[in-house]
C-alpha cells in the first residue's frame, strides 16, 4: 500500500463494475452498518447496478464520490437528494477501507458531499450513523453534524440502531 496523496472524484457512468465491487467491499467489511448485506447486494441483477450507477452519475441526480490513492479506491460515499425536502440532501453509504481509516479519507469524502450540496443550493445535510460506532459519530460531529434525537433499528427486527444526524450548510 502506497502512502501517496488521496484524491476524490465522482463515479463515472461507465464504472458499473467498480461501483458494484466497492459497494460489496463496504458491505462485507462493515456488516451491521448498512441496511443491506453483502449477500443481498451481491445477488442483485446486473440491471440493478446499471440503474444505481445511472442514478449517481446523471446530471441533476444523486452523486457518488470515490477516494483514490494511486490506482486503488480507498473509500466511497453517496450524496443523495432528500426525498421529503427539496432544500436538503443526505450523506449515504460512507465507507473507508480499514487500512485508510483515521487518515483523513472520511473527511475528504464529506468535503466532496458538502461541495456538491452547496453547488445544488441545498441548505442542510442529514445522515444515519451506526449508533454503536463512536468513530463514525466522531467524524460526523467534527464535520458539523449533530444528533437529532431520532433513532431507529438498522433494519426491521435488527437489534442494532442507527442515529439521525443533521448539519446546516
Q: Which of 167, 169, 166, 106 is nearest to 136 (CA)?
A: 106
Q: Per-residue confidence at 77, pLDDT binned at 50, 70, 90? A: very high
- Note the pLDDT tens digit of each residue in 38-65: 999 999 999 999 999 999 999 999 999 9
Q: Per-residue confidence at 1, pLDDT binned at 50, 70, 90? A: very low
Residues 6 or more apart in contact with residue 114 via CB below 8 angstroms? 125, 143, 169
Supply the mean pLDDT for the chain.
Answer: 94
- Coarse DSSP helix, strand, coil percentages of the chain, rounded to the nearest 5 percent: 35, 30, 35
Residues 6 or more apart in contact with residue 145 via CB below 8 angstroms? 125, 127, 165, 166, 167
Q: Per-residue confidence at 70, pLDDT binned at 50, 70, 90? A: very high
- Asked whether 130 and 93 are in contact (CB, 8 A), the reply is no
Sign of CA dihedral 52, 101, 68, 25: negative
Question: What are the domain boundaries of the chain?
Answer: 6-168
Query: Buried b / exposed e across 40-67, counting CB within 10 Å, b at 16+?
Result: ebeeeeeeebeebbeebbeeeebbbbbb
pLDDT of 3: 57
- The yes/no answer on whether domain 6-168 falls in CATH 3.90.420.10 is no
What is the C-alpha to C-alpha distance for residues 66 and 158, in angstroms, rounded to an integer? 29
DSSP conformation class of 99: G
What is the C-alpha to C-alpha distance for residues 54 and 46, in angstroms, rounded to an integer? 12
- Note the pLDDT tens digit of each residue in 130-141: 999 999 999 999
| E strands present in the chain | 6-10, 63-69, 72-81, 88-96, 124-130, 146-153, 161-168
DSSP conformation class of 125: E
Q: What is the pTM of this model?
A: 0.93
Q: Is the confidence at residue 33, as pLDDT, over 70?
A: yes
Amino acid at each position: 500500500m502506497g502512502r501517496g496523496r488521496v484524491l476524490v472524484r465522482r463515479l463515472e457512468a461507465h464504472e458499473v463494475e467498480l461501483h458494484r465491487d466497492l459497494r460489496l467491499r463496504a458491505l462485507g467489511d462493515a456488516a451491521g452498518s448498512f441496511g443491506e448485506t453483502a449477500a443481498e447486494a451481491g445477488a442483485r441483477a446486473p440491471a440493478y447496478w446499471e440503474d444505481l450507477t445511472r442514478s449517481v452519475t446523471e446530471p441533476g441526480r444523486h452523486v457518488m464520490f470515490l477516494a483514490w490513492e494511486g490506482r486503488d479506491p480507498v473509500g466511497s460515499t453517496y450524496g443523495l437528494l432528500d426525498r421529503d425536502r427539496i432544500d436538503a440532501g443526505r450523506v449515504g453509504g460512507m465507507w473507508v477501507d480499514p487500512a485508510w481509516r483515521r487518515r483523513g479519507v472520511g473527511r475528504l469524502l464529506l468535503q466532496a458531499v458538502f461541495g456538491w450540496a452547496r453547488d445544488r443550493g441545498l441548505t442542510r445535510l442529514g445522515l444515519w450513523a451506526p449508533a454503536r460506532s463512536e468513530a463514525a459519530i466522531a467524524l460526523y460531529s467534527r464535520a458539523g453534524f449533530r444528533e437529532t434525537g431520532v433513532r431507529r433499528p438498522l433494519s426491521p427486527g435488527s437489534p442494532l440502531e442507527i442515529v439521525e444526524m443533521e448539519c446546516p450548510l
